[in-house]
Amino acid sequence: MLNLSDQSINHLFRKENFTSFQKLKDSYSYSHDRLVKFVFLLAIIFVIILFLPWTQNVRAPGELIALNPEQRPQTIQSVIAGRIEKWYVVEGQFVNKGDTILRISEVKEDYLDPNLLGNTQLQLDAKEFSRLSYDEKVKALEGQINALATALKLKISQAQNKVQQNILKVTSDSIDLQAARVNFDVAKEQFERFKSLYEEGLRSLTDLENRNLKLQESQAKVISQENKWLTSKNELINSKIELNSIQADYKDKIAKANSDKYTALSGKFDTEATINKLQNQYNNYEIRNTFYHILAPQDGYVTQAQQVGIGETIKEGAQIVSIMPAVYDLAVQMYVRPIDLPLFEKGQKVMMQFDGWPAIIFSGWPGISFGTYEGEVLAIDNFISPNQLYRVLVKPKGSAHPWPEQLRVGAGVRTLTLLKNVSVWYEIWRQINGFPPDYYKLNTKTDEAEKDNKK
């Protein structure tokens, strides 16, 4: 009953005399003692737990990828534009390196000629013959130039000899003229003496006339010899003019031959440039013919066709089909927050749980976790990803617990990067205040050496 009245009757009876009241009191006292002991035990356990070691960690989502870029899934593209003519594979089929995926045909009008290579080869051969003709012309002109140079030397030598002969002849005629003049002077003196002797009557008129005749003959010889000397000088001048004319004439001929030679060389070089251009075109056409069959770049599985059907036109660089390499080394790429990035370094231990593989994880006590696999940090990106997180690559760690063989590229992963061991109370305090995990380095030898130095 409720105690609603102000008057009490407790003083009228004693509870000790009633057995029911006694039992109720004993039961309440026993329950209260058990509750106190249980709460005290929980408090002790909680305090003990607060001082237990706790492994700090950083959780991050990730996915499986191939470790080497060449082992990752890739799409096969067409180097040239074309029209799909035939498929040789189906999705999921295994192909070896060099196997034909599909065949395409030409769609550009510049390459539609079925005999494109043959026609280009004919043009190339014609230009080759033209180049050989220019070579022969250049050789002929070089021979002509050499012949002209040899003839020029001989002609110059001949003309120089003739000039030398005329010089000697002029010298000889000059000496003869001088001798004739001396004889004329002697004859003139003799005539004057004979004339004086004739006037004195010592010589006859006949002797005087004979001496006068000799004087006239000496004078005639002087005039004749002087004329001969002048003629020799004219011949010397003519020989010099002829020498200069020979040099000018042959130089003109050699210059013309050189001009023809350089014209032929210019034509030859133009032809060689055309030959190189045609050769380049021929090689391009020949290589282009190999692009009509799309080949598998490596061993792998055809996963998905991006272009389908027969007769469909594709552009240059268009994605045709995806292929997954048959052999690959798995790795995990996980994305961490910028605030957690300083906590990571190469060689750091990472615990992972793969999608589809059951696991029991105790984040603070990794030693008692089940179903997790170990890895170590391989690389850390120095630039942020488009999702505003930093990418970290994790590779398998050499241990007795290898990663499952059934794992495939693209599967999801939940990672747990193990950090420093701290007390539980410290971790609770850190989580309440929103502080990041403690920064530390893996080089424990250095830390121990620093502790020894401090001691």
Can you give the CATH number for the domain in which 364 is found? 2.40.30.170
- 267, 290, 313 — which closes off a domain? 290
With respect to residue 165, please indicate whether it lies within any of the assigned structural domains. yes
The whole-angstrom separation of Cα 270 and Cα 282 is: 18
| Residue 446, pLDDT score | 43
Which segments of 25-171 are extended strands (E)? 53-66, 74-77, 82-87, 94-95, 100-105
How many domains does the structure of the chain reveal? 4
Residues 266 and 311 in one domain: no
With respect to residue 109, please indicate whether it lies within any of the assigned structural domains. no
| Residue 94, pLDDT score | 92
| Residue 449, pLDDT score | 46
Q: Which residues contact 197 (CB under 8 A, 6 or more apart)?
A: 203
Tokens 């990035």 correspond to: 341
Residues 345 and 396 in one domain: yes
- 235, 265, 290 — which closes off a domain? 290
The whole-angstrom separation of Cα 425 and Cα 103 is: 68
Residues 317 and 430 in one domain: no
Residues 247 and 145 in one domain: yes
Which segments of 53-151 are extended strands (E)? 53-66, 74-77, 82-87, 94-95, 100-105
| Residue 117, pLDDT score | 85
Is 207:190 a contact under the CB 8 Å cutoff? no
The whole-angstrom separation of Cα 256 and Cα 249 is: 11
With respect to residue 233, please indicate whether it lies within any of the assigned structural domains. yes
Is-above-0.75 flag for pTM? no
Residues 334 and 312 in one domain: no
Residues 25 and 121 in one domain: no
Residues 179 and 269 in one domain: yes
CATH number of the structural domain spanning residue 306: 2.40.50.100
Residues 334 and 404 in one domain: yes
Residues 150 and 244 in one domain: yes
Secondary structure of residue 394 in the 3-state scheme:
strand
With respect to residue 111, please indicate whether it lies within any of the assigned structural domains. no
With respect to residue 1, please indicate whether it lies within any of the assigned structural domains. no
| Residue 148, pLDDT score | 86
With respect to residue 359, please indicate whether it lies within any of the assigned structural domains. yes
Residues 91 and 237 in one domain: no
Which mean pLDDT values do the consecutive 10-residue runs of the chain (455 residues) have? 56 60 55 72 79 69 87 88 90 90 89 85 89 88 88 84 83 81 79 75 72 78 83 84 85 88 89 90 89 90 86 87 87 86 81 74 55 82 88 82 82 76 66 63 49 51
Residues 205 and 175 in one domain: yes
- 290, 310, 336 — which closes off a domain? 290
Residues 232 and 305 in one domain: no
| Residue 21, pLDDT score | 57
| Residue 148: domain span | 116-290
With respect to residue 232, please indicate whether it lies within any of the assigned structural domains. yes
With respect to residue 2, please indicate whether it lies within any of the assigned structural domains. no
